[in-house]
Every structure is written in C-alpha cells, then in structure tokens.
Structure 1
Amino acid sequence: MPEGHTLHRLARLHQRRYAGAPVAISSPQGRFADAASTVDGQVLRRATAWGKHLFHHYVGGATVHVHLGLYGKFTEWTAGDGMPDPVGAVRMRMVGAEYGTDLRGPTVCEVIDEAQVADVVARLGPDPLRWDAEPGWPWERINKSRRPIGALLMDQTIIAGVGNVYRNELLFRHGIDPYRTGRAIGEAEFAQAWTDLVDLMKVGVRRGKIITVRPEHDHGAPSYGPRRPRTYVYRRAGDPCRVCGTAVRTAELEGRNVFWCPTCQT
C-alpha cells in the first residue's frame, strides 16, 4: 500500500499539472461516471494530501477524494500526443491542457463536499508531512495505550500516512522492539522518533522512494526488491542485521507482518 509520501508527491504533481484551469473528468470504466459528470469541466482549485488520502478541490466546493488502497495507481500521459485508449479498468481519467492521468484500482474514488472532507480528516491523526502537524496528539494516545508500539504506529487515527515500511524501519532506527507497549515508550524517545519520521518522509517526497538506511550501513546484501533502496529489517526475515549480524525476525502483528532485530531493538 502506498505510504503518505506517495500521496504528497501526487498532490504536488497534480497541483503543478492541472490546478488553476478547467479539467475534463470521465470514467472509462463507468463506476465513477455519475460522480465524474459533476466535476467535468470545472476548474481544479488545488490538490492536497492528508496521510494516505488525496483530495482534488474544485471551484464551487466539490472535491474528488481518492484512497489508493493496496492496488490503486495513477499513470500519466502527455495530452499533446493525443488521448490514448484506456488500458484496463480506468476508474477516473483527468485531462488538462498538457497532461492527462488515469486512475486504476483505488479503494475510494468519490466526489464529496468540503464538510465531508473535514469529516475524513477528523478521523485521522496528524500527518507528519504537513507543516501544522503536532506530535502532542499522537504522544497522548500512545502514552496511554497498552497496545504494541508497532501497531500504534500503523493506526491512521494516531499518525496519518505511516505504512509498514516506515513503521518497521523507524522502530529499528530507534532501537525499539515493535512489541513494546505504547505506555513503555518514553516521551523523549517518542520526540526523537517523530522528528526522524518527519525527516524520513520528507526524503520520500523529494526522492520518490523510502530511504531509511544510513550511509555507513548502506552496503552488503541487496534490497528486498528491484530498484528499491536497502532496508534495515523490512522484508529481510532471516537475513543478518546490517548493524549487528543477528538474524532479522518476523511475525504477524494485528494483521500485518512486522520485522525487527532482537538484538538491536529492546
């Protein structure tokens, strides 16, 4: 599932490509056709992101709300080359003066009003990539919880935008066992992790990929996937820790695989 930095990159891209002018909105697949007709030809005012949610705000108050889920993806093409035939189940097609983009496979693609946007955001925790994000709210929730910190970090009502890669890698970088309860996390410890999370996610926005391994550890075994940066523990079960050599462990935690080094994380 795309993590928060991906949605912020999309919001910035769509802001540059389409904002300030009318855009053509359609649904070649048909599932979004009625809703698409309500914003077709309208001026896109701005594109924003909060956590894993993308919002296209139109003049007049309508907003297209997208959550990519596990399989959602935008693909872009140049309008000057002619409009290509839709490939696959294109839920939404957006066409501007110079570019077009097709959305396939989202969990959510709907038109809502600004009050409903506020309702979506109200259900989410602060987004580390937003300038106004404050760590006080998640700290209060974490400090009172008996749930494992590895589960709390993935709870979008506590912190919005953190997915499985950032969760596992952040805990490793701060030597925290994912099964340690929220109540056992110190305030200074959380503050350091929050600052690091903000920095890591900003790198993700700039580079378009999650980069968590420090330069002094960026060697040895390759990444878990082609064209992916190395990770410390994510998807490295059984491989030696890049710092101490202990075999990385994995288990299921509240429905998601968690990875950690039993020596480096306490």
Structure 2
Amino acid sequence: MPEGHVIHRLARALGDTFMGEELAISSPQGRFAVEAAHLDGSELIATEAIGKHLFLRFDVPGPDYVHIHLGLIGKLQLAPSAPPRGAVRLRVDDGRTAADLRGPQWCRLVGADVREEVFASSGPDPIRTDMDPAVGYDRLRRSGKPIAALLMDQRIAAGVGNIYRAEVLYRHRLDPDVPGREITPRTWRTIYADLAALMADGVRQGRIDTVLDEHTPEAQGRPARDDPHGGEVYVYRRQGQPCLVCGTEIRSRLLEGRNLYWCPRCQRRKHAA
C-alpha cells in the first residue's frame, strides 16, 4: 500500500496537469460510469490528500468530490492520452494527458460532508502544515499497544506506513515495543517532527531516504540499496543484514499482520534523546 507521500505527490501532479481544464471523465471499466457521466466536461478545481486518502473536486452541482483510496493494489498513473488498457475504473483526460485509476479500494463520488468525516476520523498528517500533532498523541497515550503498532494506526499519524514507522523508530533508537501510554509528549513531538521532515522529503524526491549523510553508500563504501521501493534505509527489509551503525543483525517479526524491522542493539530506548 502506498505511503502518504505518494498520495500527496499524486494530488500535486493531478492539480498541476488538470486544474482549470475542461476534462473528459469516463469509466472504461464501467464500474464508475454513472458518476463519471455526472463529472464529464467539468473542470477540476481542487486536489488534496490526507494520509492515504485522495480527494479531487470538480465544478459540478451536487456531490463534487471523487474520493480515492488506492488500498493494496490500486494504481493511479498519468501518461500521454491513448486508448485505455486494462480495467480502468476512472479516466481523467484533457486530450493531451490521461490519468488512469486501476484497482482502487475506493473510488466514490461524495459530498463535502463525507470529506469532512474522513478528515475528522484521520489522525494528523505529518506532510500537512495545518495539522495538530497533539490530536495523535491524545489517541496514542491511551493505548497499551506497542508504539510500532500504533504508528501504523491512521487515526494517530495519517499516511505513515511500514517503511516510515520502522525508520523513524530506528532514527531515534526507540524500542518498538514501548507501550503508547509510556511515550512522553516530548518523544511524540520528536517522532512527529521527524516524520514531517522525512515525508515532506519523500514528496519532493519521490522516494524514501532515511539515512544520515555518514551512513550513505558513498560514505560507507557499500553498494546502494537494490529494492523496488527505492531509497536508502536503516532497517526496512534489511532483516539478516548488519546494522549500518553497530553491525548487529537486523531482525524482523510479524506485528499485527505486518513485518516489523528493527536493530536489537541500537533500539533500546523508551524516550527520544
């Protein structure tokens, strides 16, 4: 499932490409055909993301937002206009560029009330500057679950996925099993601020890089990471490999259905330094 920076990049790309244009909206697959007909010929007037939710707003009466959640297999891709291929749920086309949506978890036409409900139920999104991290902390501190599980809860930090949770915990040497109720306000502020910086960089670069300058391949004389997710990381998908800092073997285990990665030597702290 894409992490939050991918959704923000899509919101930005769609806005840059289609904003203010009269658009051909269709559903080649047919599953969004009625809604697409309502939108066809309209203009895109706003795009925004919160966490893993994408909203596209069109200048039409009645429901005017397309709410998209890519889920595990969904893809939204921009390419030069050409006949659609495969099961395209939604196509947005200005005659030069087409955006094709395939396999989303959600693609629905909604009103402002649903958008507001999604925002209200989401935790603060570290990429957005209009969010209050205290909202996430208020939910975090009530739980006895491990911090590593809670960081994947979209009601606590919207948009954070498996890579960012593993990496931010490593960067602050935090034990992934510390219960949420033992995380101090200062530690939460440190985690959130680092997520904000890392994820904003992900929006700019289109990849996730979390290592400090002294731990890059160039600085350490090691091969660059070869992984379809891209980017240089400390622990994510590095189980069985030596820690870039201490050399201890990186470990992995299942936590609430997702693989957790950590260094048992470096990550012993309960509080951020």
| TM-score normalised over the length of structure 1 | 0.95
Residues of 2 paired with 1:134 and 1:97: CA distance?
A: 40
Pair 1:175–1:148, CA change in 2 (3 A): same
Corresponding residue of 2:248: 246
Residues of 2 paired with 1:73 and 1:101: CA distance?
A: 10
Pair 1:68–1:21, CA change in 2 (3 A): same
- Pairs within 5 Å for 1:102-117: 102-117=100-115
Corresponding residue of 1:264: 266
Please list every run of 5 or more consecutive structure 1 residues that lacks an aligned counterpart in the other structure.
none
Residues of 2 paired with 1:254 and 1:149: CA distance?
A: 12
Shift of 1:87: 1.5
Pair 1:142–1:114, CA change in 2 (3 A): same
Corresponding residue of 2:178: 180
Tell me, yes or no, if the aligned pair for 2:208 and 2:232 is still in contact at 8 Å: no
Corresponding residue of 1:22: 22
**Displacement over 6 Å in runs of 4+:** none
Q: What count of residue pairs does the alignment treat as equivalent?
A: 262
- Pairs within 5 Å for 1:36-185: 36-60=36-60, 61-79=63-81, 84-185=82-183
CA-to-aligned-CA distance 1:58-84 (integer Å, 9 cap, x gap): 1135111110111111222224xxxx2
CA-to-aligned-CA distance 1:89-111 (integer Å, 9 cap, x gap): 11111001532111111111111
User: Is 1:5 aligned to 2:5, yes or no?
Assistant: yes
Tell me, yes or no, if the aligned pair for 1:224 and 1:230 is still in contact at 8 Å: no
Tell me, yes or no, if the aligned pair for 1:35 and 1:111 is still in contact at 8 Å: yes
Corresponding residue of 2:187: 189
Please list every run of 5 or more consecutive structure 2 residues that lacks an aligned counterpart in the other structure.
269-273
Residues of 1 paired with 2:182 and 2:127: CA distance?
A: 26
Pair 1:250–1:205, CA change in 2 (3 A): same
Pair 1:115–1:226, CA change in 2 (3 A): closer
Letter in 1 for 2:77: T
Tell me, yes or no, if the aligned pair for 2:207 and 2:229 is still in contact at 8 Å: no
Corresponding residue of 2:271: none
